[in-house]
Chain A
Amino acid sequence: NAGVTQTPKFQVLKTGQSMTLQCAQDMNHEYMSWYRQDPGMGLRLIHYSVGAGITDQGEVPNGYNVSRSTTEDFPLRLLSAAPSQTSVYFCASSYSLENTEAFFGQGTRLTVV
């Protein structure tokens, strides 16, 4: 059981480049989400999804796009990378919309130069 898998683990981008962070879960979870964690800070919600075909914005959505075409996958797209997007990105999923804990991926450390 792989759980939540994020790829890549590390990435360096140049300003203006675009890329997609991948997130996949094999637990048939309805809820998936993306967070960013800046040094010494908590997790801020970027986007989330309550099921295939449904996405919504979190507190810091600007500069990011998501889609949820399948239950398993929830990719995060950086449209035009900026140094302010240097961060650690976590993908998380949970079984249902009710009060169940979220399972996290290992994180992607992104540096934009």
Chain B
Amino acid sequence: AQKITQTQPGMFVQEKEAVTLDCTYDTSDPSYGLFWYKQPSSGEMIFLIYQGSYDQQNATEGRYSLNFQKARKSANLVISASQLGDSAMYFCAMRPRASKIIFGSGTRLSIRP
């Protein structure tokens, strides 16, 4: 069965600190993609970062990086130097090849000034 698990319903982090949002996944497909999305209070879904299962290096996009540990089936999002605007819901998602995209239940991140 294909499944995405986010075990942190909510997190509080001090501004300017780094934060790691956990994500584990389960799939039997050897080829898949992993994604992170941000959903601010306004409700839109914003794509942050992508990691392919065959990528040798961890993906990075500005302050976002994806800590991909294939053997452990984990794809944690790391946000460096957090900002107040990072307060939002964060969703991890997975897409096995040529198939549907499934999402985790999300983590609500709150940045304290």
Also in contact, A42 and B91, with CB within 8 A (given A101-B50, A107-B43): yes
Judge whether A48 and B100 touch: CB under 8 Å: yes
Candidates B32, B91, B97, B100; contact of A33 at CB < 8 Å: B100
Judge whether A92 and B101 touch: CB under 8 Å: yes
Q: Is A112 an interface residue (CB 8 A)?
A: no
Q: Is A78 an interface residue (CB 8 A)?
A: no
List the B residue with the shortest CB-CB distance to A35.
Answer: B103
Judge whether A99 and B52 touch: CB under 8 Å: yes
Also in contact, A102 and B106, with CB within 8 A (given A43-B91, A88-B43, A90-B45): no
Q: In the bound complex, how far is the Cα of B106 from the Cα of A35, in angstroms? A: 14
Q: In the bound complex, how far is the Cα of B44 from the Cα of A69, in angstroms? A: 27
List the B residue with the shortest CB-CB distance to A58.
Answer: B100
Residues on B with C-beta less than 8 A from A43 are: 91, 103
Judge whether B43 and A33 touch: CB under 8 Å: no
Also in contact, A99 and B45, with CB within 8 A (given A33-B100, A41-B106, A43-B103): no
Residues on B with C-beta less than 8 A from A42 are: 6, 91, 103-106
List the B residue with the shortest CB-CB distance to A88.
Answer: B43
Q: Is B40 an interface residue (CB 8 A)?
A: no
Judge whether B100 and A99 touch: CB under 8 Å: no
Q: Is A95 an interface residue (CB 8 A)?
A: no
14 contacts between A and B (CB under 8 A): A41-B106, A42-B6, A43-B103, A45-B101, A45-B102, A58-B100, A92-B101, A97-B97, A98-B97, A99-B53, A101-B33, A103-B47, A104-B44, A106-B44
Given pairs A48-B100, A56-B100, A103-B47, 18 additional interface contacts (CB within 8 A): A33-B101, A41-B106, A42-B106, A45-B100, A45-B102, A45-B103, A90-B45, A92-B45, A92-B101, A98-B98, A99-B31, A99-B33, A99-B52, A99-B53, A100-B50, A102-B35, A104-B45, A106-B44
